[in-house]
Amino acid sequence: MQTRQTFFAQQAANKRNSIVLVLAVTALLAVLGFTIGYGTTGYVEGAYGVTTIAIVIAMLMSVGSYFAGDKLVLASSGAKEVTQQSAPQLMNVVKEMAIAANVPMPHVYIIDDTAPNAFATGRDPRHASVAITTGLLQKLDREELQGVIGHELSHVRNYDIRFALLVAVLVGSIALLADFFLRFTFWGGGRRGGGDRDRGGGGLAAIMFVIAIVLAIIAPFIARLVQLAVSRQREYLADASSVELTRNPRGLEQALAKIAGDREVLEVANRATQHLYFTNPIKKFEERSSNMFSTHPNIVDRINRLRQLSGEPPLIASDVQALQGLD
């Protein structure tokens, strides 16, 4: 028997998972920074200093994307802003969902592309934008469109863009720290000579130096996987939040199935922006696809979670087979 799950329970679980993943990246950064700092200087103070410098540099690099990243994404996607006069039905749906989500009316953009998809961007609800492809408007009915817009405005309400930026800062810090250390070591840096060992941590510092090299190689890869896991958890959260707004899991479920089954390629999407979209815009059959680094949960998993909300059984085998490998 299928157990019914409320969207509140799904929201709570997804928030917990997101926080756990962020803590995991933070812990990885702390361990990497400490081992590099102690291994190269032999002092605890040096360990703290290396970690702090990496975080500060990464945060400074993120400031520009925080304030201007949404404009760059919209421009690179060829999005054009619309008004009530030029797109009345779309604007009405967005207004309905904005009222339900209790967020300010976002700027609404259209992307001239027949592949159905959408994304939200902006650092907070007061500076939010929603972009929808012409294909989405043509191929979805009103209930399905409400589900998609509800999902995107849930990203806005849940501060997912800001949350993603926090994760990017941590992952960027790990990448910067690891890259600097490996280059430093390659060019003959690090601990050398007995005098250093006498003043510093001795044999322990040498062991930490070896550990730091290993971590510097694998930590960026692990951090990237965790970042993608965070992105997938936020997609689950936005799905549950959309159902909270629309009270209609079926509309979102049908939208997911339609978009997953659509074979058209969204040309304007790329690996830098794919995590923003409602479903992964880079299809598995494309050359630019990377299954290992998927930014979105599997479509079948997303639909089955929605079916839990209404107490329906999971998708049957034939439906799973039809959808498998399309997202």
Catalytic residues: 152
DSSP string, 199-217: HTTTHHHHHHHHHHHHHHH
Are 307 and 314 in contact, with CB atoms under 8 Å apart? Answer: yes
How far is residue 229's CA from residue 244's CA, in Å, rounded to a whole number? 23
How far is residue 41's CA from residue 35's CA, in Å, rounded to a whole number? 10
Query: Tokens 């060829």 appear where?
Result: 78
Are 129 and 236 in contact, with CB atoms under 8 Å apart? Answer: no
Are 140 and 257 in contact, with CB atoms under 8 Å apart? Answer: no
Amino acid type, 207? I
Strand partners for 110: 80, 132
Are 175 and 220 in contact, with CB atoms under 8 Å apart? Answer: yes
How far is residue 104's CA from residue 102's CA, in Å, rounded to a whole number? 7
Q: Which residues lie below 8 Å from residue 155, measured CB to CB, with a gap of 6+?
A: 120, 161, 234, 238
Closest to 294 (Cα-Cα) out of 304, 309, 284: 284
Strand partners for 131: 109, 119
